[in-house]
């Protein structure tokens, strides 16, 4: 709940600083459903920043967006995402007819800017014609096509953007420059190249070679690129790029020793103890300098708070404050970190019950024994699980719905990190998760996995509904975000 208040306060303070008017018309009426606008902090799509648009009977809409810097924002329309350009104290209108995005037209003070980005392809996350197949074309060939399109797009921008704002020219120029690295990573991720289900017709090594080539001659510390969507996407992938760019194990070991300034055995042990985000923080420190480094580290901290990924968060914050005491990003970082630091300072929170000796509990029946006569909703999660943490945003509404009714909420966490209990406790406190909490030991985890054997793998998050008699009704219960679907199932058990 604390995180929701933080997000709302952050948005409210942004709105007070600067706004942009966004309006438009969608025709015909049946095309107006599923229209959502999202103003991201950087390149990340966070649902908390989304607003569902409800046009009137004529298909018109108008709203004010919290925009305090020149940036890209998202408009989701009929299953397609548009990447539109925004500036503070400006206006943008869109018109979409029955033919879809091909009929897209722009107006307002930023109409010309968005029309040009649409012509370049950037509004559709493209750059020029896509004359390749995402899975069948060799990665280096895809990169060569993108490189040619970058040259053409840069020439078009130079010839047509002379009368447009300096911020627009700066950001669009950077979007073109960083498009190749950004797009190649998106394609590699889409194809699952580094997973066991690589959909691409080409090996990891073929993609590695293309990605290394895509990053050549890029100035990652270019302060003029910081607000560019494709620069931000490149930086979001950068720690993974460092991890994957080495062709051999020996090459990676040398790189790790260069990043951390210590023998690889020590590096390996430290990353194991401190987690993946320790590697990511070190990678950003290694690859960037100056204002770009401060910007990336501030974004790293904010991302940790917004997503609830608390691994290496306090250590990174203390390091940032120590090294950059006068950073332009310090006020924002301190505001961002406040809910997390507050949660750490609280010894006890009402309504949160950590079941004593929970790691010795052998089975789900043992967990449920204390809840006979009440409906139980069991949430199985892990602090490392992003989708699990995303669902926490919907739990307070669920609990409010069944307040003062015989419904209990039980959380069973599975943690394998060296600091498992600390991560577990910190996450519970941060999200203010009222209810009974169990940290599963090996026996309980095995029992839960065995329970799911007949229906498939034990996945996270998973949810179980139990009736008043202690009988399991379903081990595939709806998620909190399913809302009414879940509420109806619980009501049937009361």
Among residues 112, 135, 169, the one where a domain terminates is 112
Q: What's residue 14's pLDDT?
A: 43
Rounded average pLDDT over 338-356: 91
Q: What's residue 188's pLDDT?
A: 96
Give the residue numbers spanning the domain of 364. 352-493
Q: What's residue 97's pLDDT?
A: 83
26 SS3 class = strand
Q: Is the pLDDT of residue 7 over 60?
A: no
Pair 65, 100: CB distance under 8 Å? no
Q: What is the CATH number of the domain that holds 382?
A: 3.40.30.10
Pair 368, 470: CB distance under 8 Å? yes
Do 374 and 332 lie in a common domain? no
Do 332 and 401 lie in a common domain? no
Do 300 and 431 lie in a common domain? no
Do 293 and 368 lie in a common domain? no
Do 212 and 274 lie in a common domain? yes
Q: What is the CATH number of the domain that holds 79?
A: 2.60.40.1120
Rounded average pLDDT over 3-31: 65
Minimum mean pLDDT range among 3-7, 156-160, 400-404, 462-466:
3-7
**CA 176 – CA 150 distance, rounded (Å):** 6
Q: What's residue 78's pLDDT?
A: 83
161 domain-assigned: no
Rounded average pLDDT over 412-426: 94
Q: Is the pLDDT of residue 16 over 80?
A: no
Domain count within the chain: 3
Q: What's residue 43's pLDDT?
A: 94
Rounded average pLDDT over 82-110: 91
Among residues 342, 375, 410, the one where a domain terminates is 342
Instruction: Categorize the per-residue pLDDT at 346 as very low, low, confident or very high, splitting at 50, 70 and 90.
Output: confident
Q: Is the pLDDT of residue 375 over 50?
A: yes
E strands of 98-211, at which residues? 100-107
Which residues have a Cβ under 8 Å from the Cβ of 131 and sit 6 or more positions away?
145
Rounded average pLDDT over 34-52: 90
Do 391 and 313 lie in a common domain? no
Residue 407 burial by CB count (10 A; 0-12/13-18/19+): exposed, middle or buried? buried
Q: What's residue 484's pLDDT?
A: 96
Q: Is the pLDDT of residue 9 over 60?
A: no
Do 483 and 362 lie in a common domain? yes
7 domain-assigned: yes
Instruction: Categorize the per-residue pLDDT at 77 as very low, low, confident or very high, splitting at 50, 70 and 90.
Output: confident
Among residues 62, 77, 112, the one where a domain terminates is 112
Q: What's residue 11's pLDDT?
A: 47
Residue 168 CA, chain-centre distance (Å), reads 25
Do 437 and 457 lie in a common domain? yes
* Beta strands across the sheet bearing 352-354: 352-354, 435-439, 407-413, 375-381, 462-466, 472-474
Q: Is the pLDDT of residue 32 over 60?
A: no
Q: What's residue 15's pLDDT?
A: 40
Pair 142, 184: CB distance under 8 Å? yes
What would the DSSP string read from start to end of 315-360? Answer: HHHHHHHHH-TT-TTHHHHHHHHHHHHHHHH-S--TTEEE-TTGGG
Indicate the pTM of the whole model.
0.91
What are phi and psi for residue 128, nearest 5 degrees? 75, -175
Residue pLDDT, tens place only, 448-469: 999 998 777 789 999 999 999 9
Q: What's residue 29's pLDDT?
A: 60
Q: What's residue 58's pLDDT?
A: 87
């Amino acid at each position: 709940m604390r995180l929701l208040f933080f997000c709302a306060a952050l948005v409210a303070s942004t709105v007070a600083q600067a706004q942009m008017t966004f309006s438009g018309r969608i025709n015909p009426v049946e095309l107006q459903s599923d229209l959502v606008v999202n103003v991201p902090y950087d390149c990340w799509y966070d649902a908390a920043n989304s607003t569902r648009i409800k046009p009137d009977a004529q298909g018109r809409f108008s709203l004010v967006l919290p925009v305090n810097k020149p940036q890209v924002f998202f408009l989701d329309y009929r299953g397609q995402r548009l990447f539109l350009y925004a500036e503070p104290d400006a206006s943008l209108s869109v018109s979409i007819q029955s033919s879809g995005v091909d009929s897209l037209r722009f107006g307002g003070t930023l109409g010309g800017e968005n029309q040009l980005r649409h012509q370049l392809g950037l509004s559709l996350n493209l750059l020029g014609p896509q004359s390749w197949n995402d899975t069948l074309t060799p990665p280096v060939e895809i990169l060569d096509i993108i490189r040619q399109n970058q040259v053409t797009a840069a020439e078009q921008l130079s010839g047509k953007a002379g009368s447009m704002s300096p911020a627009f020219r700066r950001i669009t120029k950077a979007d073109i420059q960083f498009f190749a690295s950004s797009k190649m990573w998106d394609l590699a991720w889409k194809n699952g190249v580094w997973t066991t289900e690589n959909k691409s017709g080409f090996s990891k090594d073929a993609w590695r070679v293309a990605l290394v080539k895509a990053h050549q001659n890029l100035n990652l510390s270019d302060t003029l690129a910081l607000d560019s969507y494709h620069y931000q996407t490149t930086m979001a992938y950068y720690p993974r790029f460092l991890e994957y760019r080495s062709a051999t194990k020996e090459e990676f070991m040398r790189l790790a020793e260069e990043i951390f300034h210590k023998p690889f055995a020590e590096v390996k042990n430290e990353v194991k103890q401190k987690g993946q985000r320790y590697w990511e923080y070190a990678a950003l420190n290694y690859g960037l300098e100056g204002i770009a480094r401060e910007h990336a580290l501030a974004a790293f901290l904010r991302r940790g708070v917004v997503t609830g990924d608390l691994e290496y968060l306090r250590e990174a914050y203390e390091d940032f404050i120590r090294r950059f005491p006068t950073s332009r990003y310090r006020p924002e970082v301190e505001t961002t970190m406040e809910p997390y630091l507050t949660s750490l300072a609280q010894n006890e929170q009402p309504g949160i019950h950590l079941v004593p000796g929970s790691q010795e509990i052998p089975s789900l029946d043992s967990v449920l024994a204390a809840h006979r006569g009440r409906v139980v909703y069991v949430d199985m999660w892990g602090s490392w699980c992003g989708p699990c943490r995303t669902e926490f945003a919907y739990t307070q509404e669920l609990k409010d719905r069944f307040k003062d009714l015989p419904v209990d909420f039980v959380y069973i966490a599975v943690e394998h990190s060296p600091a498992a209990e600390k991560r577990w406790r910190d996450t519970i406190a941060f999200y203010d998760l009222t209810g009974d909490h169990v940290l599963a030991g090996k026996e309980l985890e095995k029992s839960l996995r065995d329970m799911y054997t007949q229906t498939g793998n034990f996945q996270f998050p998973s949810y179980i509904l139990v009736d008043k008699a202690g009988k399991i009704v379903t081990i595939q219960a709806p998620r909190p975000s399913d809302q009414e679907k879940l509420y109806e199932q619980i009501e049937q058990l009361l």
